[in-house]
């Protein structure tokens, strides 16, 4: 037995319980299920078009660039345009995400690398699980489809976000994460990304790219 088991056993003996009593388990489950929610800001609420507009405004306010395309098939051309306009190599990496894999990248002339980011990758592409309108924040879940390294290693991070996945607030996004993955199957990491990496720790001078990508480009698919 571990030290942790010893501690819990001591607590159970002190309380004269075994920990398997049905009424006690029901009480715990009820508290977890019916915990009242805190105050949710009104800023991100509204119909889908309002949430998209708020998300874009907030994301651009923190130095992310945002563009909208009407169909998923338009994403590769937008990625190629962005890399070309920034004079970056025509090469990008993404994971095993089925949504991205189905897009017509073969028509762009881009070289595609797959898998986890490497130290020499200049640009990587992710498919966001969702977005939060109130702060212009991307929600990125880890896994083979979208490895966390894509979020932090490259100098340029391009993220595809479906408009339908933009929620007004964090609470709604967390509910969707739980419903999508289920108990015991949650992703190892959920990253909330608001704008490019930045720090003002040294001399109170704002520095982009301090702990991750220097530039963040978000492609919102509105279909």
CA dist 4 and 11 (Å) reads 11
Residue with the bigger pLDDT between 56 and 43: it is: 56
For domain 48-221, is the CATH number 3.40.50.10420?
yes
Q: Are 190 and 142 in contact (CB under 8 A)?
A: yes
pTM above 0.75, yes or no: yes
Is residue 218 pLDDT above 60, yes or no?
yes
Most confident segment among 20-29, 175-184, 197-206 = 175-184
pLDDT at 100 over 60: yes
Helix ranges (DSSP H) in the chain? 3-15, 22-33, 48-61, 75-85, 98-101, 149-152, 170-181
State the DSSP string of 100-151: HHTS-GGGTT-EEEESS--TT-SEEEEE-SEEETTTTEEEEE-SSSS-THHH
Q: Would you kindly state where each structural domain of the chain is located, as residue ranges?
A: 3-33, 48-221
- pLDDT one-digit tens code per residue, 118-172: 989 999 999 999 999 999 999 999 999 999 999 999 999 999 999 999 999 999 9
* Range in 10-14, 68-72, 77-81 with the lowest mean pLDDT: 10-14
For 207-216, write each residue's pLDDT tens digit.
Answer: 655 667 999 9
Q: For residue 204, is pLDDT > 80?
A: no
């Amino acid at each position: 037995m571990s030290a942790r088991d010893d501690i819990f056993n001591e607590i159970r003996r002190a309380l004269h319980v075994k920990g398997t009593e049905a009424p006690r388990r029901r009480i715990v489950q009820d508290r977890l299920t019916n915990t009242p929610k805190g105050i949710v800001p009104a800023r991100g609420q509204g119909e889908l078009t309002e949430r998209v507009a708020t998300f874009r405004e907030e994301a651009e306010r923190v130095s992310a660039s945002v563009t909208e395309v009407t169909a998923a098939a338009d994403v590769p051309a937008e990625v190629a345009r962005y890399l070309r306009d920034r004079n970056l190599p025509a090469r990008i990496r993404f994971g095993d995400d089925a949504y991205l894999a189905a897009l017509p990248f073969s028509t762009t002339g881009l070289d595609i690398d797959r898998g986890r980011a490497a130290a020499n990758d200049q640009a990587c592409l992710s498919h966001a699980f969702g977005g939060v309108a109130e702060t212009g924040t991307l929600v990125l879940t880890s896994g083979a489809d979208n490895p966390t390294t894509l979020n932090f290693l490259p100098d340029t991070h391009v993220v595809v976000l479906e408009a339908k996945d933009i929620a007004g607030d964090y609470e709604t996004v967390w509910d969707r994460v739980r419903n999508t993955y289920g108990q015991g199957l949650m992703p190892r990491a959920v990253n909330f990304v608001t704008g490019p990496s930045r720090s003002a720790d040294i001399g109170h001078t704002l520095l982009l790219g301090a702990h991750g990508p220097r530039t963040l480009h978000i492609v919102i698919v509105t279909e």
